[in-house]
Amino acid sequence: MGQISVETCEIEGLKVITPQVFGDERGYFMETYRADQFAEAGITDDFVQDNQSSSTRGVLRGMHFQKNFPQSKLVRVLSGRVFDVAVDLRSGSPSYGKWFGVELSSENHKMFYIPRNFAHGFLVLSDWAEFAYKCDDFFHPGDDGGLRYNDPALGIVWPDSISPEEFKVNERDRNWPDFSCLNK
C-alpha cells in the first residue's frame, strides 16, 4: 500500500525518507516502517528497540553516540518540529567530522536514517515536540559518548529561529568534549 521516497544526502549512508501519506477529511494514514521497502532503499538494519521523548522549544539533545555498541537509528517526529543533525564519526570516511541536518516535523512526515558510527542530536523548534526513533541495538548502560553541540570544529549551524541563549541543554550535553578529543 505505502511507498517511500528516499533522498540520499551529501554524507554517504545518511538518508531522508518521506512516506506516502493518505489523507482525507478524517485525518491521514501512513506506513512509518516496512522492512521490504527499506531494504530496497539499502536500509537492512534489524531494529530491536524503539525510544520516544518529548521536549519543549529550545531543548537541544546531543550530540550523542555509542562507543562500543554503535547503533543505527531511524528517527522521526510525531508532533512538532525539530532540526535533526548527524555527524560522521566513521574512521577513514571522506566525510569524517562533517555534519548534515534536516528539519523533521509532524507536518512533513520525514524520517532520518542515521547509520552506525554517527553522533546524533536535535533542537526543538516548535513549542513542544514528540520524537521517536528505532535502534538496531539495545541500550548499553555506560556506553554513551558525546560531542559538544557548539564545537567550532564541527561548525554545526543550528537554525537561527532560536538563539543559542534560548537553548535548553542539560549539564551532560553542555560538557561533552570537543571533536578534537575523539582520537586521543
Catalytic residue (one of 33, 64, 96, 113): 64
Question: Can you give the pLDDT at residue 2?
Answer: 60
CB 123 within 8 A of CB 158: yes
pLDDT tens, residue by residue, 64-74? 999 999 999 99
Catalytic residue (one of 113, 120, 133, 149): 133
91 is written with which cell numbers?
A: 574512521
| H-state helical runs in 22-138 | 35-40
Smallest CA-to-CA distance from 5 within 14, 21, 17, 22 is with 17
φ/ψ region of 118 (left if φ > 0, alpha if ψ in -120 to 50, else beta) reads: beta
Check pLDDT > 80 for residue 36.
Answer: yes
Please compute the mean of the pLDDT values over residues 3-8 and round it to a whole number: 94
Please compute the mean of the pLDDT values over residues 4-12 and round it to a whole number: 96
Residue 64 annotated among the catalytic residues of the structure: yes
Residues 6+ apart with CB under 8 A from 152: none
Please compute the mean of the pLDDT values over residues 125-148 and round it to a whole number: 97
pLDDT tens, residue by residue, 102-112? 999 999 999 99
Residue 149 annotated among the catalytic residues of the structure: no
Please compute the mean of the pLDDT values over residues 124-135 and round it to a whole number: 98
Question: Can you give the pLDDT at residue 1?
Answer: 46
What is this structure's pTM?
0.95
- Look over the chain and give the mean of its residue pLDDT values, rounded to a whole number: 96
CB 149 within 8 A of CB 169: yes
Beta bridge partners of 88: 118
Check pLDDT > 70 for residue 121.
Answer: yes
Q: How confident is the model at residue 182 (pLDDT cuts 50, 70, 90)?
A: confident
As a whole number of angstroms, the distance between CA 76 and CA 52 comes to 10
| Complete domains list, the chain, with CATH | 47-181 (2.60.120.10)
As a whole number of angstroms, the distance between CA 62 and CA 122 comes to 6
